[in-house]
Amino acid sequence: MVFIDLHTHSVSPTAQTFIFNYDAAVNQGFDETIQYQSVGIHPWSLSKFEISSALTRVKELASRRNVIAIGECGLDRLSQGSLGLQEKVLVEHLKIASQLGKPVIIHCVKAHNELIRIAKREKVSVPLVIHGFDGNLNIAQQLWKNGYYLSFGKALLRPHSNAANILKGWPLERMFVETDDSKLPIETLYQTAGQIVNLELNEIATIIMDNFNRVFRP
């Protein structure tokens, strides 16, 4: 059984297969030996770092073979940077992803309507994955209608979290799990997700593996 960690900031994650998140504003040297990576600029980085050189780095790295996704990038209403700047940088990421045909891993906090509107306006057709999803039913329905994927993280472990409630009714062919910046073993997320949707560990692992292969074409 292969466990896939959709999004991790750790260089020694608990899954054999994982997408390491490289933040072009924060991370320095790019480690070619990491098999699967995503490259982007986190919205929190916008107020702390010089962005134009980071964007240049995203563009340089994006076409590498081991960069299988763009991001994480996105919108965060709780971040210090202005939403206007966040939108501009997000659009840059969406353009790069569209040119290369690579999916985008998105960080979105209290700005899902804006995200949906921007992605529509930019005519994005590559898969969009909202990572660390813990939004409400209304948001989930909007995302579902617009073809988004959701990646579930540690919020799943709280039995009455939005994430746990949404996963019960979310189409399984559009889900992933992730550890993000937590130290949790990825297997714990698989077990919890399996319990929520009433599937054995190997069944949920097969579903996520199929999703991974279809969306990321590794």
Q: Can you give the binding site for Zn ion, defined by CB under 5 A?
A: 180
Least distance from Zn ion to the Cβ atom of residue 9, Å: 6
Closest to Zn ion by CB, 160 vs 183, is: 183
Least distance from Zn ion to the Cβ atom of residue 206, Å: 25
> Contact at 8 Å (CB) between 17 and 3?
yes
Least distance from Zn ion to the Cβ atom of residue 178, Å: 8
Closest to Zn ion by CB, 76 vs 180, is: 180
Closest to Zn ion by CB, 7 vs 57, is: 7
Least distance from Zn ion to the Cβ atom of residue 183, Å: 14
193/190 Cα distance (integer angstroms): 5
Closest to Zn ion by CB, 57 vs 154, is: 154
Closest to Zn ion by CB, 109 vs 126, is: 109
Least distance from Zn ion to the Cβ atom of residue 20, Å: 11
